[in-house]
Amino acid sequence: MRIASPSKLRRRPRVRSTLGARAVWPILLVLGCFFELEPLAELPGVGGVGGAAGSFSGAAGDGGLGGGGKAGAGGTSGGPECGPDQKLCQGGELAGQCRSNTAVEFGCGDSLCRPCNVPANTIVGCNVDSRSCEVQRCAPGFADCDGDVINDVGEIAGNGCEYSFGTIQVAATTIDVPFASITLEDGGERGDWGAIPAYALKAPCQDCLDSSLPEATAPNSIPVPRDLDAYFRVAWDRDFFYVLGEAFDNSLFENGQSVQDGRCQTGAPCEDGFTVFLDGRNDRQTQPSFRSDDIRVFLAASGKTFRPEQAPLGTGEVTSLGVPIGGAELCYRVEAKFDWQFIAATQGAQPVDAIFPPENGQQYGFDFSVNDWDPVVSSPDVFERQSQLFWLSPGTNYNHNTSGFGAMKLVGAP
Ligand SMILES: [Ca+2]
Ligand SMILES: [Ca+2]
Ligand SMILES: [Ca+2]
Ligand SMILES: [Ca+2]
């Protein structure tokens, strides 16, 4: 089970130090005193309480909750007794009043009871150890790709979760593929995807094994979004089927060839990236085993591609680009196109009934997944395959049996 605590995150562009608060808190409990979180006064940018250091409320040994002693720097002696998980506000509009020290609207443990700053598209809560404000995650569908808030504890400042994964849609078993004018000639920009909806990759594949991959260390769990949060889009035109995958991944790994495993020699299957599944002839209920029209292709964050256990990809069959997003190595995008003749397993543009050439209403088997390789906790330089999340769970033996794939339907062509 992976919980991406801040200490696990490899890149922490702007972690603000609250070590003072973290270290002092348990000591205070041992002493049986209740200090009004004066350690916060040491934080840069938190002004106005500098004179409060060393003051406290409540007498030692009284459970730490009394208000009978000095109430703090504000001199609010004789203030009310505050209950458990409360603090006596030391200044501002709430001076002398008790407020929760686990409430964002009162700044968690902030002795002045000022609300936590909540940057755009962030979910802010109270750190259970330090009682400081902390960014706990991004709002659904957003990511902190420039890494300026995702690890913030204490003072929270930045542009928030500035990156939108787009308009998120949900599809039960069949996804509509809109006709669109997409190009890879723009270097992986996504402006050409316009308002095409995105779909979340949130489904684990229970007890699934893919013999072309090292076994996932957390195969049946869904990582928290600050560990992995990924989405995809699809589109088509007369020549190609297009996919766009985008992910927030707290630790980007693009060097799969460094993994000591024979299945990783090409790199692509053993790197952060996506896997596209296609049943080109849409015949998976009668022909569930992988044949030439059944496509499983890794699209690595680096742009590398690989088709396991079948003929290597030919020139032009799949073209893929991998680009970083946001400059903090926390997000990446893969844009790729699949030749329709490759999908339909036809040559010389020979028509295939209801499959090729592509037309509105035609259906194909389809699924999409994201692969996450992150550092081993005990060995930060060693990466392991931790999880794979799907649009739809394709079922056990998905590398041998295509019958669990979902479907996609072409729409929107003029
Ligand atoms: Ca940001
Ligand atoms: Ca991750
Ligand atoms: Ca098939
Ligand atoms: Ca990763």
Q: What angle do CA 146, 150, 153 make, to 5 degrees?
A: 135
Residue 28, Ramachandran bin (φ over 0: left; ψ between -120 and 50: alpha; else beta): alpha
Q: Kindly list the protein residues that place their beta carbon closer than 5 angstroms to ligand 4, a single-atom ion.
A: 249, 251, 253, 272, 372-374
Instruction: Note the pLDDT tens digit of each residue in 146-195.
Output: 999 988 899 899 999 999 999 999 999 999 999 999 999 999 999 999 98
- The rounded Å distance from CA 293 to ligand 3 centre is 5
pLDDT tier at 209, thresholds 50, 70, 90: confident
Identify the pLDDT of residue 4.
38
> What's the pLDDT tens digit per position in 347-377?
999 999 999 999 999 999 999 999 999 999 9
Q: How far is the CA of 402 from the centre of ligand 1 (A)?
A: 39
Residue 319 CA to ligand 3 center (angstroms) comes to 21
Instruction: Pick the ligand that lies closest to the CA of residue 227.
Output: 2
DSSP H or E segment with residue 26: helix 19-31
Closest-approaching ligand to the CA atom of 372: 4
Find the 138 Cα to ligand 2 centroid distance in Å: 15
Mean pLDDT of the chain: 83
CA 360 to centroid of ligand 1, rounded, Å: 40
**β-pairing verdict for 174-178 and 406-411:** parallel
Q: What does the alpha-carbon distance between residue 377 and residue 356 come to, in Å, rounded to a whole number?
A: 48
| Whole-number percent of the chain with pLDDT over 90 | 74
The pTM is what? 0.80
Residue 104 in contact with residue 116, Cβ under 8 Å? yes
Confidence band of 14 (pLDDT split at 50, 70, 90):
very low
CA distances from 242 to 51, 131, 212, 221 (A): 61, 47, 24, 29
* Max mean pLDDT range (15-19, 24-28, 116-120): 116-120
> Given this model, what pLDDT does residue 207 score?
82
| Whole-number Å distance between alpha carbons of 224 and 332 | 17
Count Cα atoms within 13 angstroms, Cβ side, for 83. 3
Ligand nearest to the CA of 145: 1
Point out the ligand nearest to the CA of residue 2: 2
Ligand nearest to the CA of 163: 1
Q: How far is the CA of 188 from the centre of ligand 4 (A)?
A: 20
Over range 31-48, report the average pLDDT: 32
Integer-rounded Cα radius of gyration of the chain: 27
**Mean pLDDT of the region 319-339:** 97
Structure confidence at residue 240 as a pLDDT band (50, 70, 90): very high
Q: Which amino acid is at 314?
A: G
* CB 149, CB 135: distance < 8 Å: yes
Residue 229 to residue 247: CA distance in whole angstroms: 6
